[in-house]
Every structure is written in structure tokens, then in C-alpha cells.
Amino acid sequence: MSKRAVAALGVALVVGLSELPAAAACVAAAVKDENPDGGVRTGLTQPAPGVVWISGTIVDQDSTTRPYVEHFDPITGWARSVLGLHQSGFNAIAAFPSGQAIAVGFEDSGASALAIMFDGSRWLDMLGSSTEKRYRGSLERVAVVPGTPAAYAVLAYGPVNLLHWDGSTWTTVTDALPLGSVLAVGAASANDVWAVGGRTDRYGVVHGMAERLHDGRWTQLKPPAKLTLLTGVDVRTPNEVWVTGLSQQGSMFVPFAAHWDGSVWRQLSLPLPNSPSSELGGLYAQSATNVWISASQWQHGGSVSALWHWNGNVWHYVTGSNAWTDTPLLAGFPGDVWFAAGQYRRTRFDGNRWVGTAACQRPEG
């Protein structure tokens, strides 16, 4: 979950993991990638089987913040690009099956939005360049529109909630939610785009919000539950939408996930304790009986990251790691799930070091 989502709650959350059950049928394998020393991963996306893009931010020895990207495909292996931008960073990345990718974030220490595009061979300036219009704020999330060259990005601290990329130009979006209330965006098609988020009122009560673009019009929707801040959305089809977030229970906020089947919302029971130290990372759902989540919880004085799988009947713990950084990243494709999180080193902070693949190779019990 982004720092902005935590700020929207008006509370500081401590992340971590409790006692874990033994691993079951799904298995995970570690991967040696190209994460630079001190690099902190901020985004993970998978546009095709075996193809992965990871965005991140690194702080040089001279305290200069720079954005970087890791890329993997089965033919060429790993490649890494550290962009020569000062006091800038990437918050998220999205990619097209064609081999193009869009990384978004901030420049000038967060004063203006940043978006860079990989056209298949090189990185091209977009937002933040001398030739493109500049927008105040930071781009926090980005989602491509399947079957098109388009994308949507969430703009925080700016004049609008969303920006739209039509394949050549970024423009502002006039949506249905109050300014500053959008935290995530997802799309199944050009005619089915969702955005979710929420706000905290002056009494400290959370109000979740959702909206949908359909037939050229943004419409505000009823949220899946009361007192819930929505921080993530995964739109598979018009009748297959998953949201994640935090549910308010008194003064405590606990992980939340729900599924839209085209008619009603159904809350997903999570294998996480109702504790402020428990935080849901990402969710990837291939179907209602094949769901993956990443999470962090507090255990024995330290933060532990974990990967879980739902087979329609029960949650199985797959793998975990001692972690120091934000909640684990997660991206999936049928039969090919990728995850990444942090590694805590007592001698020094060494960035995000836990990355791997996972799959269910046999039916679970």
C-alpha cells in the first residue's frame, strides 16, 4: 500500500506476520534479479507469461534519488535501466503485451508528475519532459487498457484524480469522485474502467469510494462495505472485479478484500489476523477458486512478508521472508505468479531482496 493510502487514513500502520501454517501444495522459487544495491521496488507487472517489469527508486551515495526499472523475458533474461533523473522516483509500472511499458512517479522531489515510456527499444520522455505538459503532484498507480495503446494513471496532490494516455498524449480526466479520493485504477477494456479510493472525515471515520467508466460516462458506485478504504482494484471482466483495502473496526484498521460478480459484492475471508500490524499487499485472482495474495504481519519483533493461495475452500501459506520494506508486490498470469518484497539486514538497509515465482503444480487439499 502506498504512503499516500496510509496518509489518507490519518494513522500510522505498522506492518508484520503472525504464526504461519506449514506450506501446502503450491510452491515458490527464488529468483536472482537485477535489483541494484539499495534499490527499493515500488511496482510489479506481468503483461505476458514469463515477462515481468519492476519499477523502483534508488538513492545514490550523494543522496540523489533516481528511478530505475528491471525487465525480464525468457529469451533475453534480465535487463536494468537506471534513468539519469535527479530527485525523481517511480511509484508504479504497467506494460503492454507488445513490449511497451509505462513507468510513473514523481520528479523534483515530488513537485510534479513523472511518466516515462519504453517503446520497445528505448525510454522516451513523457510527462515531466521539456516537450510535454507538466502536472503538479505525483503519479501513484498506472493501468493499461487491454486491447488498446491507452492507459490511466492516478494523480495524487494534483488538480485532478486521473490522467489518461491515449497512445500519444496525456490529458486530464473528469471523473465522478471528489478530488484527492482516488487511490487505484484498473481496466478490462476501453468501455470498462474502474477507480477506487476513499476519504477520512473530520471525525476520523473512513468512507470508501468507487466509480466506473462505462459508455463514455463516469458513475459513482456503492462501495463494497462501509468504513472501508479501497487501495487496490483488479478488473478482469465487467463481471469479475476484485478490490483490496483496509476496513475500519473502531480505532483499528484491518485488511479487506472483496469480489464483484456483476451483481453483488462478496467479501473475501483473508488468512490474516484482525490486527493493525497486518497489512495486505497485492491480490491476483485468476478465478474465484484461484486467488493469490501477498501480505505483511508482525512476528517476534520483526516484519515478515508472505504469499498465500486460495483454492476456493481454504487458504494455503506458500512462502515467506523476513522483510523491512513495504508490503510485498504481486503480479500474476495463469500458471505463472511473481512476487517481490524486502529483506532486512541488521548491518545495513540493503533494499528489496525477496523476489520469486510461484505456481500450484498439483491440486490442493
What is the per-residue pLDDT for 231? 95
pLDDT digits (tens, 9 = 90+) for 274-294: 777 788 999 999 888 999 999
Q: How many other CB atoms are found less than 10 A from the CB of residue 145? A: 24
What is the per-residue pLDDT for 21? 43
The tally of domains found in the chain comes to: 1
Question: Which has more pLDDT, 305 or 2?
Answer: 305
pLDDT digits (tens, 9 = 90+) for 33-61: 888 877 889 999 999 999 999 999 988 87
What is the per-residue pLDDT for 185? 98
pLDDT digits (tens, 9 = 90+) for 185-213: 999 999 999 999 999 999 989 999 999 99
Concatenated DSSP letters of 144-174: E-TTSS-EEEEEESSSSSEEEE-SS-EEEE-
Q: What is the mean pLDDT of residues 64-72?
A: 93
Strands in 162-165's sheet, in edge-to-edge order, are 138-144, 151-156, 162-165, 170-173
DSSP 108: G
Question: Which has more pLDDT, 355 or 245?
Answer: 245
What is the per-residue pLDDT for 4? 53
Q: How many other CB atoms are found less than 10 A from the CB of residue 238? A: 15
Distance CA 68, CA 35 (A): 9
Q: Is residue 158, in this structure, part of any structural domain at all?
A: yes
Domain of residue 131, CATH code: 2.130.10.10
What is the per-residue pLDDT for 11? 30
Q: Is residue 137, in this structure, part of any structural domain at all?
A: yes
Q: Is residue 27, in this structure, part of any structural domain at all?
A: yes
User: In whole numbers, what is the pLDDT of the chain averaged over residues?
Assistant: 86
Question: Which has more pLDDT, 185 or 296?
Answer: 185
Distance CA 218, CA 215 (A): 9
What is the per-residue pLDDT for 335? 85
Q: What is the mean pLDDT of residues 139-150?
A: 97
Quickly state the pLDDT bin for 10 (edges 50, 70, 90): very low
What is the per-residue pLDDT for 348? 52
What is the per-residue pLDDT for 22? 41
Quickly state the pLDDT bin for 128 (edges 50, 70, 90): low
With beta carbons less than 8 A apart as the criterion, state whether 162 and 153 touch. Answer: yes
Distance CA 32, CA 194 (A): 35
Query: With 70 as the cut, is the pLDDT of residue 19 above it?
Result: no
What is the per-residue pLDDT for 20? 39
What is the per-residue pLDDT for 304? 83
Closest CA to 94 of 153, 140, 45, 136: 45
pTM: 0.90
With beta carbons less than 8 A apart as the criterion, state whether 15 and 207 touch. Answer: no
Query: With 60 as the cut, is the pLDDT of residue 233 above it?
Result: yes
Query: With 70 as the cut, is the pLDDT of residue 66 above it?
Result: yes
What is the per-residue pLDDT for 127? 81
What is the per-residue pLDDT for 272? 87
What is the per-residue pLDDT for 15? 25
pLDDT digits (tens, 9 = 90+) for 159-181: 999 999 999 899 999 999 999 99
Q: Is residue 365, in this structure, part of any structural domain at all?
A: no
* Residue 87 structural domain: 3-360
